[in-house]
């Protein structure tokens, strides 16, 4: 497996942004699953659960923007290809 060690600082930042974005996506979907299971059992999410979902979505949105910005900073096409392979 390829490593981030040989990448530029810009590419390393983009890779970390990808990891952060992936983590925030997982957290958001996990919260959605919890809320969905409440609906399936006839319940409804609490105010705190809805606020948590909103917070997780805002964090994910922030991470998506950071990833988009970081990827734009990687200008070398070969390095961008290597980075995409790492993210696959």
CA–CA dist 47, 37 (Å, integer): 16
pLDDT at 39 over 70: yes
Instruction: Quote the number of domains for the chain.
Output: 1
Mean pLDDT score, 79-88 = 93
pTM assigned to the model: 0.89
The parent domain of residue 20 ranges over 8-87
Whether residue 65 is contained in a domain is answered as yes
CA dihedral for 75, 76, 77, 83, sign (positive or negative): negative
Whether residue 53 is contained in a domain is answered as yes
Q: Which of 20, 30, 79, 73 is nearest to 52 (CA)?
A: 30
CA angle 55, 72, 63 (to 5 degrees): 10
Whether residue 62 is contained in a domain is answered as yes
CA–CA dist 65, 21 (Å, integer): 9
Whether residue 23 is contained in a domain is answered as yes
Mean pLDDT score, 52-81 = 97
Whether residue 2 is contained in a domain is answered as no
CA dihedral for 66, 68, 74, 79, sign (positive or negative): positive
pLDDT at 78 over 70: yes
Query: What is the model's pLDDT at position 1?
Result: 54
């Amino acid at each position: 497996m390829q490593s981030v060690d040989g990448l530029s600082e810009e590419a390393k930042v983009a890779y970390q942004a990808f990891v952060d974005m992936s983590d925030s996506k997982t957290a958001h979907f996990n919260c959605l699953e919890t809320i969905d299971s409440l609906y399936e059992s006839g319940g409804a999410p609490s105010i705190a659960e809805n606020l948590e979902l909103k917070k997780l979505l805002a964090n994910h949105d922030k991470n998506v923007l950071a990833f988009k910005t970081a990827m734009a900073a990687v200008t070398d096409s070969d390095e961008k290809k290597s980075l995409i392979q790492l993210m696959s």
